[in-house]
Amino acid sequence: MKKLLFTFVALLQAFSVHAANPDPDMLQIALLPDENASTIIKNNQPLRTYLEKELGKKIELIVTTDYSSMIEAMRHGRLDLAYFGPLSYVLARQKSQIEPFAALKAKGSTTYQSVVIGNVAAGIQRVEDIKGKTMVYGDKASTSSHLIPKSVLAEKGLTSGADYREHFAGAHDAVAVAVQNGHAQGGGLSRPIFESLVERKIVSLDKVRVLEYSKPFPQYPWTMRSDLKPELKQKIRRTFLAIQDPAILKPFKAEGFDEITDGHYDVVRNLGPLLKIDLAKFQ
């Protein structure tokens, strides 16, 4: 028993040293679990190759089961870099020593919108028609497929539980498909993802109607452990800001990445009072 206890303690100590390493030989990098994990890993091989060459380190790409497990992995030091959604970043920041350093840029901007959609066959023509119906969101810790569309409904006087039923489908594409198939009468997801689903003919505008676009919000941030070596942090920052390869940018539906700071995400934090959500206790 004493030997087993010693081994367990030794493993914990070894993990702690690894987690705190300011200049690891391998960087553990997490990508958002917005779609199928194997597809995400496959599509981001150009990013892995590029980072290994430019940073001179081994790169392991990771896709967790959901947003919450990604936040917890960062909190426990199992990740060095992570590509969060705005809300999942705010939640992770409350628990971890991390900092944003670059945000996705599309159409010349580092902001984006969510979209609220409705089922055509159910006669949903405007946001107010969701009253008394079922609304589907993505992941509970998602900004663009939960918090933002929920705020759009709240601004129309619709509150979850009181005015409509809510359901979580996990991923953005699952939200759109659920609305298209009539499993929910309304749904909320990222506008760029929705438009990609329409372009790829996964979703038909004959079956799904756009009800409203949200106001602009700061784009998804790349983050890193604050305790990484300063020289490494600067090199990581420069490496991401220099990305121009379309093969790397395509999975992100991006033109590139621009610098961003924590202060840009105060607009996300301010959604808490509107939705009567305490983000310090959220998840």
Residue 118 and residue 179 in contact, taking contact as beta carbons nearer than 8 Å: yes
Contacts for 57 with CB less than 8 Å, ≥ 6 apart? 24, 25, 26, 27, 51
Helix (H) or strand (E) holding 268: helix 266-269
pTM: 0.73
Region for 18 from its dihedrals, namely left if φ exceeds 0, alpha if ψ lies in -120 to 50, beta otherwise: alpha
Q: What is the pLDDT along the chain (283 residues), one digit of tens a residue?
A: 444 333 333 433 444 444 479 999 999 999 988 788 999 999 999 999 999 999 999 999 999 998 899 999 999 999 999 999 888 899 999 999 999 999 999 989 999 899 999 999 999 999 999 999 999 999 988 888 999 999 999 999 999 999 999 999 999 999 999 999 999 999 999 998 999 999 999 999 999 999 999 999 999 999 999 999 999 999 999 999 999 999 999 999 899 999 999 999 998 888 888 787 777 766 5
- 13 burial level (CB within 10 Å; 0-12, 13-18, 19+): exposed
Long-range contacts of 243-247 (CB under 8 A, 24+ apart): 243/50, 245/46, 245/50, 247/46
Q: Give the chain's length.
A: 283
Element (H, E) at 269: helix 266-269
Token digits of residue 206: 């004959």
Are the C-beta atoms of residues 183 and 169 closer than 8 Å to each other? no
For residue 274, the Cα-to-chain-centroid distance in whole angstroms is 21
Tokens at residue 211, please?
Answer: 């009800």
